Amino acid sequence: MHFARRPLELILSRYPSTAAASRARELLQEVAAEMASKKSAREASARETADEGGISEFDRKRIRAHLDRAEEAGPKIVHGVSGETRRLRQRIGHLDAARSLLDKFGEHAGPDVLSLREEVRRGLVRSYLDLGQVYLVRLSLPLAASECEKACDLDPENAESHALHGKILDAWLATGYGPIPHLGGGR
């Protein structure tokens, strides 16, 4: 209901001593009370579920919205088609937003938070690897290596990221791109 505040405030400022202004004051008080009650309900729900090591329905919906948008944004990889990099960047952005929402629950989170964190981590690894593969096909080798590193940071045991590193190294050597960054600097 906060969207109603601006018109009511305009009525108060332009017509201060009218019946409309009097009604606008009443409505503003109702809006403020409604917003306060919703905020306190959200905070109480968040405290209650945080005490149980869980996640509030409000936060769950926000996180799920980011995960759904990430799913819509990719992976629709068809190498050589314009827009795949943008879609993957959008996907990564939504997954990062979900991760930052989950980070506020700290280390002692309940199983539902841990499950969502794992889903986000897997999605990020997959997206970084897909983006690294796109950059490899385009021979943007420093970018490919950077995305592959991000995947390795999140999942050091991922065999696919190690295989992609090998392909990037092969392409780097085959194209004579220059010094390999991990072995003494790059472009």
76-109 pLDDT per residue, tens: 555 555 678 888 999 999 999 999 988 888 776 7
* Of 143, 131, 153, 126, the residue nearest 177 (C-alpha): 143
The rounded percent of the chain whose pLDDT value lies above 90 is: 32
Residue found by looking up tokens 């309900």 in the block: 41
Indicate if the alpha-carbon torsion angle 31, 33, 38, 39 is positive or negative.
positive
What is residue 27's predicted lDDT score, i.e. its pLDDT? Answer: 85
Query: Of the ranges 46-60, 87-101, 113-127, 129-143, which one carries the lowest mean pLDDT score?
Result: 46-60
Query: Measured between alpha carbons, how far is 123 from 143 in angstroms, rounded to an integer?
Result: 19
The rounded percent of the chain whose pLDDT value lies above 70 is: 79
Residues 6 or more apart whose Cβ sits within 8 Å of residue 88: 73, 74, 75, 77, 127, 130, 131, 134
Check pLDDT > 90 for residue 68. no
Which residue type sits at 96?
A: D
DSSP SS3 for 34: helix
What is residue 185's predicted lDDT score, i.e. its pLDDT? Answer: 40
* Of 172, 176, 149, 173, the residue nearest 161 (C-alpha): 149
Query: Measured between alpha carbons, how far is 176 from 73 in angstroms, rounded to an integer?
Result: 34
* Of 98, 105, 165, the residue nearest 129 (C-alpha): 165
* Cα-based distances in Å from 82 to 85, 134, 166: 8, 11, 26
Q: Confidence band (pLDDT; 50, 70, 90) for 1?
A: very low
Check pLDDT > 80 for residue 119. yes
At 11-31, the pLDDT tens digits run 878 888 888 888 888 888 888
